[in-house]
Amino acid sequence: MKFEEEVMHANLQEIQICMEFGNMYFDRVRLIDTKDCRQMRIDKEGNLIDDGPCRYGVDAESHKHVENRYSDKKTCRFEWIHDRIFRVVTVPIVMTKENGEKRRFCLELLEEKTDFSVYKTLNDGVKLEDMEAEADRAYFDSMTGVYSRRVFDERVFVPEFLNEQITFVVADLRKFKHINDQYGHEAGDRILQRVAQTMKSSLRKTDLIIRIGGDEFLLVLKNCPHYWAEKKTHVIAAKLAAKNKLEDWHKIPAMVDFGIAEDHCFDGTEESIRRLFNEADRNMYEMKRGIKKSELI
Q: pLDDT (tens digit, 0 to 9) for every residue of the chain, 297 residues total?
A: 444 446 788 888 888 888 888 888 888 888 988 877 788 888 878 888 888 777 554 334 444 445 555 556 677 777 766 557 778 888 888 888 777 788 888 888 888 876 655 555 555 555 555 555 555 566 788 889 899 888 888 787 887 788 889 999 999 998 888 888 888 888 888 889 989 999 998 998 889 999 999 999 999 999 899 999 999 999 999 998 887 765 555 567 788 999 999 999 898 888 899 999 999 999 999 988 776 555 544
User: Looking at residue 129, what is its pLDDT?
Assistant: 52
CA distance 118 to 145: 23
User: What single-letter DSSP state applies at residue 133?
Assistant: H
Dihedral pair phi/psi, residue 44, rounded to 5° = -65, -25
Contact 68, 55 (CB under 8 A): no
Give which of 147, 84, 153, 75 is closest to 115, Cα–Cα.
Answer: 84
User: Looking at residue 58, what is its pLDDT?
Assistant: 38
Is pTM beyond 0.75 here?
Answer: no
User: Looking at residue 118, what is its pLDDT?
Assistant: 56
CA distance 13 to 211: 33
Q: Which bin fits 267, alpha (ψ -120 to 50), beta or left (φ > 0)?
A: alpha
Contact partners, residue 113, CB within 8 Å, separation at least 6: 78, 85, 86, 87
First to last CA, the chain: 49
